[in-house]
Every structure is written in C-alpha cells, then in structure tokens.
Chains A and B, each alone.
Chain A
Amino acid sequence: MEDQKLPCVLIDCIGEKHGVYEEHVEFLKEHFCLITMKEYIENKKILGKKIRAIYMWYHKPVINEELLQSLPNLKIVASSGVGIDHLDLNLLSRYGVKVSNTPFIVSTDTADLGMALMLASSRRLVEGYQMAVSPDTEYFPANWLGDEVSGATLGIIGMGTIGYKVAERAKAFEMKILYHNRKQRNKEEENAVGAIYCKKIDDLLQQSDFVMLAVNLTPQTHKLIGKRELQLMKPTATLINISRGLVVEQDDLVEALQNKVIKAAALDVTYPEPLPRDHPLLKMENVLITPHIGSATKKTRHLMMENMTESIQAALTSLPIPHEVLL
C-alpha cells in the first residue's frame, strides 16, 4: 500500500455513490499512492503528513479547516468539473493550497446537453416518448405539436467556452443568436457564429425564444434570473439552465411557469440536487429536468481524470499548473 516513491493523494472512496470510478483506479495508481478517507481517519497521525494532494471527485471529500490543519504537506486540491462554487477559495489560499479544475474538457459535452435540452423541450420529446409507449395509446393525435428550433432566436447568457460552443451549434440550426456577457467578444468571434451582443440583459430576454444560462456561479450571478427577468421574457419562451441551480431564483421560476409567464423550462441543474421529492418543479408538465449530466460521458470523465492527474503532478513538482484556479 505505501509505495514511498509515488506521492500520496487523498480521495473520498472508490466506487459507491460518489466515489472515484473503479475503471479509473488503475491509471491513478500508476501515478499516485491513493489513500481513502477511511484509511486516513484510521491512521491520521502518519498519513496526515504524507498527503500532498486531494483528488476531489464530485465535491468529495469535503474540505474544511479541520482537514486542512491536519494535512501540513497539502499542496493542491484538484477538483473535477469546471464549477468551483463548492470550494472556499479564500480558506484554501490562507493555507497556501493551490486549486485546479477541468474547464475546457467539459465544454463540448455541456454544450451538447444544452442543445439536447432545447430540442427535447421544444419538440416535446419526453412527452412524445411517453405517448408512443403508453399502454393507453390507441392512435397518435394529429393536432399534437411542438415548436421549431430551426430559425428561432437563442439568447445565451454567459458566452464563455461553453456558451460559445452552444452558439457554434445553434448557428447550424440557422438560429438568430443573441448573447449577454461581462465583456463583449471580439468581432471575428462574433461573426464566426453570427452572435449579436446585448449589453443589457433585458434586450436579450425580450427578444429570445430560448434563453440559455451558461454562466458560472459567482456572487454576481447568484439569482441572476428572478421574477423581473422572467417577466421580461416572451410568454412563448423557454428557459434552459446548464450552469448552476442557484443562478435562478427557483421559487420565482415555479411561479412564472405556473402562471404561464414563460412557456417552459429545461434544467440540468437545480438547487439542491436532487430536488426534494415534493418540489413543485417535479410535477410540472412544461418542465424537463435532467440529473446534472452536463459532462456525463465516459470519454469526458476519463479526460477529466487525466487532467486532474496532470494538475496534481505539476503542483508537486513545482511546475506551472494547467487549469489552476486563481482567486
């Protein structure tokens, strides 16, 4: 178990609900001496000093001050995925611990899922599937219609790597693309996807048939979409969220959907995840929810694991860290 040459890395566990994937363990063990949380707790005195990195897979293990105090040689926390809203960056900085994420690798899968949600919602795919397989179905009604995605107007809020990839895809559907971002992109980038900048979010909300949230969660984007924003949207519009649940004021969204202020919502993210089983969003016909699967493909998760390994290795050899998250 204790190979002195390989650096010791703390993980939560292997397998089970949130653990490191069994298939990834072989690769990881080539580079690291893996120590599970259980093993660490049983032997804190000795292992505490050996652990030089934390491999944080889907927010586990949870990092708090107590843990940081008992890991004097901790150099880096490598976090899976691009979101880092679950980390206390200030705390980690105070202990001199670096942080890395996996920003670019998740982009195409997440953009793909954004498109999948938009198409599925607009064309009523899940409803249609239920009709096609229902034991009660005798015929397919003629008047059963969805709305077209091709040629409609898509408003992207957050034109980072993921937002831009959404725009690239939407362009092929001949969609009119509006975007709102902290900074305007340069002209070539805009022209490449035919995207029009909306300095005021209101302009985007008022003109879009589909509003897609692709921002990261920060204090500035927390509850960015609330009652006011929903009312600015067209009553025929759909809200799609592939960012974080907290970007949307969820109670306002429920109300807006109930009162047909907007037509529908498609959410890969909610707050919390999963929602409590009695939450109104779960019962609404015009709501499509997926279980936070933006980056849930075999290939991408494997690449994430490789990315994280790289970041840890760089930190431990004092080289520049790929995908370092700076305060």
Chain B
Amino acid sequence: MLRSKAFNLLKSIHLMSGQPKLAYKGIHPVIASHGHRSHRSVGYRQRYKTGAGSAGGRTLSAPQTKAMSEKELPGLLILDIGGTYGVQENIVALLKKHFCLITMKEFLENKKEMSKKIQSVFVSECRPTVDQELLESLPNLKVIGNSGVGVDHLNLKMISNFGVKVTNTPHAVADSTADIGMALMLASARRLVEGSQIAISPHTKYFAVDWLGVEVTRATLGIIGMGRIGYKVAQRARAFEMKILYHNRKQRRKEEEQAVGAHYCEKMEDLLQQSDFVMLVVNLTPENHKMIGKKELGLMKPTATLINIGRGALIDQDALVEALQNNVIRAAALDVTYPEPLPRDHPLLKLNNIIITPHIGTATVQAIQMMAEEAIANMLAVLNGQPIPSEVFPK
C-alpha cells in the first residue's frame, strides 16, 4: 500500500520529466499493483535489485554518467554521509539517483560555488539544522524534504518567509510507529523488560509464580490523536479485543469509527478517566505542549499506563516523575522524551515502573528506506512544479 504509493509517486514524477519508461520496466508486478503487504519482504528486495541495475537502460561509462548527473541532477544538501549523525550508505545511494549530493562540509568549504547549486535540503533526525543563516545562504533553495512526519524542529513560518516549501513523510512512518506503540503497551503491561532481566540474572534461582502483569486483551485503550498513526494503532488494538476510545481535534467519520470500534471522546477528561492504557499519538504544536500534566495524570486510573509515541514535550515530565513515584498511575512507556537522550541523572531513568526507548518509532530497515523514498518523491514534485503529496504549511 504505502510502499507502492511512494514508489508510484517516484515513477510518475520521472515519467513526466522525460526519463525513459525503461527505467521501471522491471517493477515487480506485486508492487506495481496494490503493493500487497504480504509480499513485502520479497518484493522489496526485488525492487532494489532491479532499480540498481536499470538506470534508465543507460550504458554510459561511470565518469560520463557522473558528469551528466552533476549537470542534470538538482543539488541536495545533507548533513553528512555515514558517521554518527549522517545519512546511511544505502539511503545515500538512493538519493544519488535523483540528486547531486552536497554534504554540509563540502558546502561550508566552498560556499560561493555550492550555495547556488542547492535546491533542496534532506533533513533526517532533525539534521542538518535549518536556521536563518542557512536559508539566507541558499538563494535557489526550493524545498526542505523532511524524513519523518514530525516537523516541530523546523521553524515553518521562517522557512515559508524565504519562499521555501517543507514536506514530510506521513505515509512511510505510520506502520512502524503504530507497531512501536503496540510493542510498548504490551511490554509495559506484561513487564517484559523486568521479566527478561529476571530470566538472565545471575541471582535468579527460581521463577516466582506470583509475579504478575496486567492484561491487554479486552482492556480499554484511549488514543489521543487519531491521525494516520493513531488509526493504525486502533486497527491493531482491535484485534486484541480492546475497547477503544479516542480524542481528536475532529471526530472521524462513522464508517472509520465502526471499522475499528472506536468511541469519540470530545472531552479528553472522559478518555483519561476510563482508559487502562492512554497512548499519545499527536504531533507537537505550540498549543499542545505539556498537554499531559499533573491534572491529566490525576484523572487517569491508578492502574493505568501512559504511552508516548508522539513527542516528549507533550508531557510535563516533572509531573510524570511525581505521578510515577506516588503511584498516581501504574506505569509509563515512552519512545520520546525531552530532550533525547535525557540527562543521565534525570529521575525518569531511576524509576522501576517506566520503559524508555531511544526514539525508535521508525527505526526499521524498511521504514528508513520508505521515508527516504517518500521524501525524494516530495522534493522532486516541488522541483518539477508538480502536485506535492505531503506539504506542511505553517499555521
């Protein structure tokens, strides 16, 4: 589904810009159709096997191709190739098919020449930082292609004032992030991390039979933020016979609600009071900073678990520490915090009723690839003056 969507976007853009159809002759029929997920693992590899070998059926030699590419392909600024914060090698290879890559280092060493070439910036894990200075030095910049759906790290108004568009990747992130939400809920409820520590601890002599967790099946899940990711969480939770409540800016259509058995809570308080698991799946905006604070935690059941796969700043972290220490709620499971990582002396790290993961919502081989593809499709759409699949506008 979403994989073939991104790929078809890429395909249609290239066809419109005059590249030979031959380039995509080898599309695995499964992907080209409706991209049925069951063939993902096979089709995925196949596609890239095909892609690598079929650069439009060209038989030009490498240097000629390079020279041509540098002239024809638009300049794309990235932070770095490889290293701690850089773009992974296989993603770099993918980007190089459509762009002339310029690293931050190369740009800084040769600003005069490079600055005019750069038409797009690929932002991955919030890097490179897009500030006023950078925007001022890139006169031909048309688009910031963000890898990932959250854009709270970008100053949308400022970027817009420079006439630069911003795009994100809402489709590519949805499945893997929904999966992490479910993983955290299950791990927390069943005390999986603790259990694994007991299982391997050198001090363990026997497994206590009264060591218990709480049920997920038939429990009540309250989803705050029923966008693309929230809805996929609901689809998964339904299979666990969970009762699903949700709070969202807008109520979803009846068919959508019925498909997952979700009940709308216009007031977030109602959701908080009734849920066994509360999952935050909203994007961070200036309006919803610390939307979960002392009051909200106090409304939750003392047996409830708070799960955050949105952004760390949605939660008043000090209030959360207090709530967990005083058993106001049972537990928390956070893929996101503020900052990331937390300072090593932060009280959240010392609690035993919390699971924290290092922002791995989209940390899968498959998602990283799909995010790059979706970002590429969006950036090319901007540069080619075509309809942009996922543009983000300042409020």
Interface residues in chain A, defined as those with a beta carbon under 8 Å from any beta carbon in chain B: 17-19, 21, 57-58, 108-109, 111-113, 115-117, 119-120, 123-126, 128-129, 131-133, 135, 137-153, 168-176, 209, 273-275, 277, 282-283, 288-293, 296-301
Residues of A near B183 (CB, < 8 A) are 116, 119-120, 123, 125
Q: How far is the CA of A173 from the CA of B235 in the complex (A)?
A: 8
Residues of A near B191 (CB, < 8 A) are 293
How close is A273's CB to chain B, nearest CB, in angstroms?
6
| Pairwise interchain contact B349-A133, C-beta atoms closer than 8 A | yes
User: 30 interchain pairs (CB within 8 A)?
Assistant: A58-B209, A108-B218, A112-B190, A112-B217, A116-B183, A120-B187, A128-B357, A129-B193, A131-B358, A132-B357, A137-B341, A139-B341, A142-B125, A144-B360, A145-B365, A150-B37, A168-B239, A169-B239, A171-B239, A172-B238, A173-B236, A174-B37, A176-B38, A274-B206, A274-B207, A290-B199, A293-B195, A296-B211, A297-B213, A299-B215
| Pairwise interchain contact B198-A291, C-beta atoms closer than 8 A | yes
Q: Which of B191, B213, B342 has the most CB of A within 10 A?
A: B213
User: In this complex, what residue of A is CB-closest to B370?
Assistant: A148
| Pairwise interchain contact A21-B341, C-beta atoms closer than 8 A | no
How close is A137's CB to chain B, nearest CB, in angstroms?
5
Q: Which of A19, A57, A138, A176 has the most CB of B within 10 A?
A: A176
How close is A175's CB to chain B, nearest CB, in angstroms?
8
| Pairwise interchain contact B179-A119, C-beta atoms closer than 8 A | yes
**Which 6 interchain pairs have the tightest Cβ spacing?**
A176-B38, A172-B239, A151-B37, A116-B186, A119-B183, A108-B217
Q: What is the 8 Å Cβ interface bit string for chain B, positions 346-370, against chain A (1 contact, 0 not)?
A: 0001000001111110011111100
Among B85, B192, B237, B358, the residue within 8 A (CB) of A120 is B192
Instruction: Please judge, given known A-B contacts A144-B363, A173-B236, whether A126 and B40 are in contact too, CB under 8 Å.
Output: no
Tell whether B180 is near chain A: CB-to-CB under 8 Å: yes
Considering only residues 191-248 of chain B, those with a C-beta below 8 Å from chain A are: 191-193, 195-196, 198-200, 202, 204-218, 235-241
Tell whether B84 is near chain A: CB-to-CB under 8 Å: yes
Interface residues in chain B, defined as those with a beta carbon under 8 Å from any beta carbon in chain A: 37-41, 84-86, 88, 124-125, 175-176, 178-180, 182-184, 186-187, 189-193, 195-196, 198-200, 202, 204-218, 235-241, 340-342, 344, 349, 355-360, 363-368
Q: How far is the CA of A139 from the CA of B38 in the complex (A)?
A: 35
Q: How far is the CA of A291 from the CA of B363 in the complex (A)?
A: 27
Q: How far is the CA of A128 from the CA of B196 in the complex (A)?
A: 13
How close is A211's CB to chain B, nearest CB, in angstroms?
14
| Pairwise interchain contact A148-B365, C-beta atoms closer than 8 A | yes
Q: How far is the CA of A88 from the CA of B178 in the complex (A)?
A: 45
| Pairwise interchain contact B85-A289, C-beta atoms closer than 8 A | no
| Pairwise interchain contact B210-A21, C-beta atoms closer than 8 A | yes
19 extra A-B contacts, CB within 8 A, seeds A142-B86, A176-B37: A57-B209, A108-B215, A108-B217, A116-B192, A117-B192, A138-B341, A143-B88, A147-B364, A148-B179, A150-B176, A150-B179, A151-B40, A174-B175, A176-B38, A274-B204, A274-B206, A277-B202, A291-B198, A291-B211
| Pairwise interchain contact A129-B355, C-beta atoms closer than 8 A | yes
| Pairwise interchain contact B368-A145, C-beta atoms closer than 8 A | yes
How close is B179's CB to chain A, nearest CB, in angstroms?
5
Among A145, A175, A297, the residue within 8 A (CB) of B212 is A297
Q: How far is the CA of A135 from the CA of B175 in the complex (A)?
A: 31
Residues of B near A117 (CB, < 8 A) are 192
| Pairwise interchain contact A150-B359, C-beta atoms closer than 8 A | no
Q: How far is the CA of A298 from the CA of B204 in the complex (A)?
A: 22
Residues of A near B366 (CB, < 8 A) are 147-148, 151
How close is A264's CB to chain B, nearest CB, in angstroms?
13
How close is B53's CB to chain A, nearest CB, in angstroms?
23
Instruction: Please judge, given known A-B contacts A115-B186, A148-B179, A150-B37, whether A18 and B196 are in contact too, CB under 8 Å.
Output: no
Q: Which of A18, A126, A129, A289 has the most CB of B within 10 A?
A: A129
Q: How far is the CA of A108 from the CA of B341 in the complex (A)?
A: 35
| Pairwise interchain contact B211-A293, C-beta atoms closer than 8 A | yes
How close is B352's CB to chain A, nearest CB, in angstroms?
11
| Pairwise interchain contact B192-A298, C-beta atoms closer than 8 A | no
How close is A46's CB to chain B, nearest CB, in angstroms?
30
| Pairwise interchain contact A128-B358, C-beta atoms closer than 8 A | yes
Q: How far is the CA of A17 from the CA of B210 in the complex (A)?
A: 8
Q: How far is the CA of A148 from the CA of B366 in the complex (A)?
A: 7
Residues of A near B340 (CB, < 8 A) are 140
Residues of B near A133 (CB, < 8 A) are 349, 356
| Pairwise interchain contact B192-A126, C-beta atoms closer than 8 A | yes
Q: How far is the CA of A95 from the CA of B319 in the complex (A)?
A: 62
Q: How far is the CA of A300 from the CA of B212 in the complex (A)?
A: 10
Q: Which of A17, A117, A125, A131 has the most CB of B within 10 A?
A: A125
Among A19, A137, A146, the residue within 8 A (CB) of B344 is A137
Q: How far is the CA of A113 from the CA of B189 in the complex (A)?
A: 10
Q: How far is the CA of A57 from the CA of B208 in the complex (A)?
A: 12
How close is B361's CB to chain A, nearest CB, in angstroms?
9
Residues of A near B189 (CB, < 8 A) are 112, 297
Residues of B near A58 (CB, < 8 A) are 209
Q: How far is the CA of A148 from the CA of B2 in the complex (A)?
A: 14
Q: How far is the CA of A120 from the CA of B236 in the complex (A)?
A: 16
User: In this complex, what residue of A is CB-closest to B176?
Assistant: A148
| Pairwise interchain contact B341-A298, C-beta atoms closer than 8 A | no
| Pairwise interchain contact B360-A128, C-beta atoms closer than 8 A | yes
